[in-house]
Amino acid sequence: MKPKVLVTREVFSETLAYLNSHFDIESNQEDYILEPDALIERARDKDGIICCLTDLIDKRLLAHCPRLKIVANIAVGYNNIDLAACSARSVMVTNTPGVLDESTADLAWALMLSAARRVTEAQSYVDAGLWKGWHMRQLLGVDIHHATLGIFGMGRIGQAIARRALGFSMRVIYHNRTRVDAEIERRLNAAYASKDELLAQADFVVLQLPYTPQTHHFIGAMELDKMKASAILVNSTRGGVVDDAALIAALKAGTIRAAGLDVFENEPQINTGFLELKNVVLLPHIGSSTEVTRRAMAMLAARNAVAGLSGAIPPNLLNPNLFG
């Protein structure tokens, strides 16, 4: 008898074909978000769950799913999963690192460029029929080239963002829990800085931190006050790393110049204060959303599930302690 696996959100036809060759699949191809009770009901007899960041995998779900052996998240971040609770029940948890690094870095740069050059504001200006011709001070933005880029979180995606800065002749500074190897710093022309030094010096502050209790509101009113009035903040990692209410207040007051956001606290709900501002670029969490990348993410999660339910150690296991 094949193991039973729940796929909680819509995936691609090749992913389903691969999974069907190994498992008895139940798939939510209608792609509605499964509320906690509905998720539990559909998962209670499953050996595996292939899920997304919209799915809460917590102690309550685990208590109702005694057969569960693996949770394969189609994401790098896994703050939707109680990893400790899964480990306590010997449930493997995997993610999808690597395949989305470059696409997510591209999106961070799209936010930087859009906020710096007022792209969405200019689009609205044209759409509204307000453009009457060229003039000298029309929608003046700021330069990215030769500016200082500050990156919080110098993992794979942070390094990909920094690598792109070389082409813009930017000075790169970064802050990380641990300093990266000297060779990486040399290759990226990046210098380590304290949190306060980065906030004070950077023209562009880009966040690439995981969301954890320790990074909750990593950027709040106090941090925004330490930034340059001309600075631009980019959050392309996870909502909750930024205090959205404090950011709205800072953007209104001119504490910082602008922001580019792909993620929000309590998304998909969004603080309506953002909608009243012109100096913010708002995107609906599309950091990894390219055709190639999303297909690769879904297939990697599927391969993790196949490995885990075949008795092998999945390649992207987040709780390797289960295997000693």
Tokens encoding 265: 């606290």
Tokens encoding 309: 């339910």
Strands (E), 194-318: 204-207, 232-235, 258-261, 280-282
Q: What is the pLDDT of residue 324?
A: 72
Residues 94 and 107 placed together within one structural domain of the fold: no
Overall domain count for the chain? 2
CATH code of residue 13: 3.40.50.720
CA distances from 270 to 114, 240, 319 (A): 20, 12, 33
Please, which residues have CB within 8 angstroms of residue 294's CB and are 6 or more apart in sequence? 12, 288
Please name the residue that has the structure tokens 């007051």: 253
Q: Which of 56, 57, 95, 58 is nearest to 77 (CA)?
A: 95
User: What is the three-class DSSP state of 221?
Assistant: helix
- What would the pLDDT profile of 138-194 be if each residue is shown by its tens digit? 999 999 999 999 999 999 999 999 999 999 999 999 999 999 999 999 999 999 999
Residues 52 and 184 placed together within one structural domain of the fold: no
| Residue-number span of the structural domain to which 173 is assigned | 101-282
Residues 53 and 112 placed together within one structural domain of the fold: no
pTM of the predicted structure, to 2 decimals: 0.94
User: Is the separation of the CB atoms in 43 and 22 below 8 Å?
Assistant: no
- Does residue 267 carry a catalytic annotation? yes
Please, which residues have CB within 8 angstroms of residue 14's CB and are 6 or more apart in sequence? 295, 299
* Active-site residue (options: 10, 26, 185, 267): 267
* Active-site residue (options: 9, 238, 257, 294): 238
Q: What is the pLDDT of residue 1?
A: 86
Residues 9 and 126 placed together within one structural domain of the fold: no
User: Which residues are 190's β-sheet partners?
Assistant: 172
Residue numbers of the chain with a pLDDT score lower than 50? none
Instruction: State residue 24 phi and psi, 5-degree precision.
Output: -90, 110
Q: What Rg value do the Cα atoms of the chain yield, rounded?
A: 21
Residues 94 and 108 placed together within one structural domain of the fold: no
- What would the pLDDT profile of 207-216 be if each residue is shown by its tens digit? 999 999 999 9
- Does residue 238 carry a catalytic annotation? yes
Buried/exposed 85-117: b ≥16 CB within 10 Å, e otherwise: bbbeeebbbbbbbebbbbbbbbbbbbbbebbbb
- Does residue 175 carry a catalytic annotation? no
Residues 109 and 227 placed together within one structural domain of the fold: yes
Residues 234 and 300 placed together within one structural domain of the fold: no
Residues 166 and 73 placed together within one structural domain of the fold: no
Residues 84 and 181 placed together within one structural domain of the fold: no
Q: What is the pLDDT of residue 195?
A: 98
Q: What is the pLDDT of residue 56?
A: 97
Residues 21 and 123 placed together within one structural domain of the fold: no
Residues 261 and 156 placed together within one structural domain of the fold: yes
Cβ neighbours around 310 below 10 Å, total: 10
* Active-site residue (options: 9, 118, 285, 303): 285
Residues 65 and 131 placed together within one structural domain of the fold: no
3-state helix/strand/coil string of 276-300: HCCCEEECCCCCCCCHHHHHHHHHH
User: Which residues are 258's β-sheet partners?
Assistant: 232
